[in-house]
Amino acid sequence: MARVAFLGLGVMGYPMAGHLSKAGHQVTVWNRTLAKAEAWAGAHKGEAASTPADAVFGAEYVMLCLGDDPDVAAVYEQLEPSVGGGMVIIDHTTASADLARSLFQRASKKGAAFIDAPISGGQAGAEKGQLTIMCGGDASAFAQAQPIMSAYGKRMTLIGESGAGQLAKSVNQICIAGILQGLAEGLHFADQAGLDISKVIGAISGGAAQSWQMENRWETMDKGEYEHGFAVDWMRKDLRIALETARQNGASLPLTAMVDQYYADIQAMGGQRWDTSSLLARMGRGPK
């Protein structure tokens, strides 16, 4: 079994670190709030460290699961003195490809590997250990890390060189944004037309309109329930990264830009922590 450090115990990282411990790995965790790391160590077989450098020292694998580029950059500065040859650093944060490429180079200079490995599947996927992981980096490092990540990942794909995992995550979020807006408009149309929404979904969900979002979110959307799932604040962060990258590479994302502004409307309504399916709330189906 491997010596693993896990940094960042949010709604995703906390259960992910737990799966590593249950798989038999020697896990040391760190969190900005030490009490949370200590609580994790009390609930699982593992240890809590007071600093990123302490958590990483002697580790073979280092997992990061943080908030945004500045968080990753700041934590990496703190752990960098403990980075050693042969170490594999896996960043599960959804961050920019530019940052991933920079950290890849910095890790390489110390003989370590760096994999950008953003995740999809939400809190439920993390708790069930069934995340999808999109990776960028060297094939040899990915092959080495894959058995470790399998503790919480059901599908792991090496997309390409450093930064490719983060770019693939942007594709994921772009697609989700469009699907959710279409689903919100469809439910709104059905409601305005006086249709039985459950019958409509039953009729169309087995055809070309079917999606994960339709299957898992239509009912809570219809009830105006949004206190669950992937928060609007985090989605806007992800879409910001996608739109910034699009400005760099010349991609045209008019729908994504529009939905991003719709999410800004949701934030203005007080829905910063609502699920991303709350796009329907703009159309009058607010929380009940």
Task: Read off the pLDDT of residues 115-141 as tens digits, 9 standing for 90 and up.
Answer: 999 999 999 999 999 999 999 999 999
Each residue's pLDDT tens digit, 63-90: 999 999 999 999 999 999 999 999 999 9
All residues at 6 or more sequence positions from 28 whose CB lies less than 8 Å from its CB, including other chains: 3, 4, 5, 6, 46, 47, 48, 49, 54, 55, 59
All residues at 6 or more sequence positions from 120 whose CB lies less than 8 Å from its CB, including other chains: 131, 132, 133, 134, 169, 172
At 61, is the pLDDT very low, low, confident or very high (cuts 50, 70, 90)?
very high
pLDDT at 285: 77
- Percent of the chain's residues with pLDDT above 70: 100
The packing angle between helices 69-79 and 97-109, to 10°, is: 10
Q: Can you read off the two tokens belonging to residue 24?
A: 């038999």
pLDDT at 286: 74
Q: Can you read off the two tokens belonging to residue 10?
A: 């949010």
pLDDT at 237: 98
The packing angle between helices 164-192 and 97-109, to 10°, is: 160
- Kindly provide the residue ranges of all beta strands, DSSP E only, lying in 85-233, ordered along the sequence: 88-91, 113-116, 119-120, 131-136, 153-160
Contact indicator for 230, 275 with CB cutoff of 8 Å? yes
Each residue's pLDDT tens digit, 199-222: 999 999 999 999 999 999 999 999
CATH second-level architecture of 3-161? 3-Layer(aba) Sandwich (3.40)
- Backbone dihedral region for residue 270 (phi beyond 0: left; psi -120 to 50: alpha; all else: beta): left
Q: Across-strand partners of 242?
A: none
All residues at 6 or more sequence positions from 91 whose CB lies less than 8 Å from its CB, including other chains: 63, 64, 72, 100, 103, 114, 115, 116, 117, 118
Each residue's pLDDT tens digit, 85-110: 999 999 999 999 999 999 999 999 99
Please state the separation of Cα 21 from the chain's center in Å.
20
At 287, is the pLDDT very low, low, confident or very high (cuts 50, 70, 90)?
confident
Contact indicator for 62, 90 with CB cutoff of 8 Å? yes
Contact indicator for 95, 128 with CB cutoff of 8 Å? no
Each residue's pLDDT tens digit, 243-274: 999 999 999 999 999 999 999 999 999 999 99
Contact indicator for 75, 7 with CB cutoff of 8 Å? yes
Please state the separation of Cα 209 from the chain's center in Å.
25
Q: How far apart are CA 279 and CA 285, in angstroms?
A: 9
Give the Å distances, CA to CA, from 148 to 105, 136, 145, 171: 23, 16, 5, 25
Give the CA dihedral 169, 139, 74, 42, nearest 10 degrees. 90
| Residues designated catalytic | 169
pTM of the complete model beyond 0.85 = yes
Which CATH code fits 167-283? Answer: 1.10.1040.10
pLDDT at 288: 62
Is residue 189 pLDDT above 70, yes or no?
yes
All residues at 6 or more sequence positions from 94 whose CB lies less than 8 Å from its CB, including other chains: 118, 119, 166, 169, 173, 234, 237, 238, 241
Q: Can you read off the two tokens belonging to residue 276?
A: 């991303």
Task: Kindly list the domain boundaries of the chain, sorted by start residue.
Answer: 3-161, 167-283
Q: Which residue has the tokens 């090496």?
A: 158
Query: How far apart are the two ends of the chain, measured CA to CA in Å?
Result: 48
State the chain's mean pLDDT as an integer: 97
Question: What is the Cα Rg of the chain in Å?
Answer: 20
Q: How confident is the model over 175-190, as a mean pLDDT?
A: 98
Q: How confident is the model over 186-191, as a mean pLDDT?
A: 97
